[in-house]
Amino acid sequence: GQQLNQSPQSMFIQEGEDVSMNCTSSSIFNTWLWYKQEPGEGPVLLIALYKAGELTSNGRLTAQFGITRKDSFLNISASIPSDVGIYFCAGPRGNSGTYKYIFGTGTRLKVLA
Amino acid sequence: DVKVTQSSRYLVKRTGEKVFLECVQDMDHENMFWYRQDPGLGLRLIYFSYDVKMKEKGDIPEGYSVSREKKERFSLILESASTNQTSMYLCASSTPGRGLVQPQHFGDGTRLSIL
């Protein structure tokens, strides 16, 4: 079945550093989504990508849709303490049409002030 | 903004009880979902609904049922709660894609403990 592998699983970084994480799929996706989940909250959508090669920014966050359509990358520039959380990638499942997703297991980010 | 509201943030129940988790969305979304989230396992789909009174099983439906009598409300039911159902439960909603995958919008979750 489809799988999404995220790396790294967790990371500790110093405030002000840039962060990179990625997500790889066992199959081709036509959409990539990136979510952030803060402690005690539900996931919140950060960025949606719909086209291979697409690069989209949301403030200090930049995400890219890999040209192979099997991977995606999320970068955070100049990290701050409120960037703490779990970052999930997601993509559409198999032949589910346009509404069911598979989620990665997440990258847990901790920022040291 | 889309608002998905889960009725309880924290819930403690006993083994064997029938448990109801409620979810309401205010954006007239057709699709609604229930997930459970466990450390190291990510989000796993329990059930979803693509219309009123319509439902489909997800990946882990055993021990659960759902109800969707109104478009805005999707309920998850634990028929006879067991300790292995202790978890964080997340509700989400989305519109049909009509050719474009639409993101799901999540509630804040219900942390359920079964004693």
**What are the tens digits of pLDDT across the range A1-26?**
667 899 999 999 999 999 999 999 98
Through-space distance between the first and last CA atoms of chain B, rounded to whole angstroms: 36
Quote the pLDDT of residue B40: 81
Query: Which residue, A29, A42, A39, A1, is CA-closest to B34?
Result: A42
* pLDDT per position as a tens digit, B6-40: 999 999 999 999 999 999 999 899 999 999 999 88
Q: Answer whether B31 sits within 8 Å of A50, measured CB to CB.
A: no
Quick one: tokens of B47?
């059930």
Angle A73-A79-A83 from CA coordinates, rounded to 5°: 80
Residue pLDDT, tens place only, B50-89:
889 899 999 999 999 999 999 999 999 999 999 999 999 9
pLDDT, tens digit (0-9, with 9 covering 90-100), for B39-55: 888 899 999 998 898 99
Q: Tokens at residue A70, please?
A: 């099997």
pLDDT of residue B72: 96
**Cα B101 to Cα A92, B9, B43, distances in angstroms:** 7, 29, 18
Query: What pLDDT, on a 0 to 100 scale, did the predictor assign at position B100?
Result: 66
Among B31, B43, B108, select the one facing A99 at the smallest CB separation.
B31
Structure tokens at B48: 């979803």
B42, B96, B101 ranked by CB distance to A92: nearest: B101
CB-CB neighbours of B108 under 10 Å: 17
Q: Read off the pLDDT band of B103 (50, 70, 90).
A: confident
Residues of chain A with pLDDT under 50: none
Q: Can you tell me the distance from the alpha carbon of A59 to that of A79, in angstroms, rounded to the nearest whole number? A: 11
Question: Over chain B, what is the mean pLDDT?
Answer: 92
Backbone angles phi, psi at B43, to 5 degrees: -95, 125
**Residues of B with CB below 8 A from A104's CB?**
42
Above pLDDT 90, what percent of chain A?
73
Q: Number of A to B CB contacts under 8 A, please give it.
A: 59
Phi-psi region of A76 (alpha: psi -120 to 50; beta: other; left: phi over 0): beta
Contacts of B108 in chain A (CB under 8 A): 40-42
Q: What are phi and psi of A45, to 5 degrees?
A: -65, 130
Of the candidates A98, A100, A103, which has its C-beta nearest B100's C-beta?
Answer: A98
Predicted pLDDT of residue A96: 55
**What pLDDT does A3 receive?**
78
- How confident is the model at residue B102, as a pLDDT? 80
* Structure confidence at residue B95 (pLDDT): 84
Q: CB–CB of B45 and A88 under 8 A?
A: no
**Are B97 and A40 in contact (CB < 8 Å)?**
no
pLDDT of residue A113: 77
Residues 6+ apart with CB under 8 A from A59: none
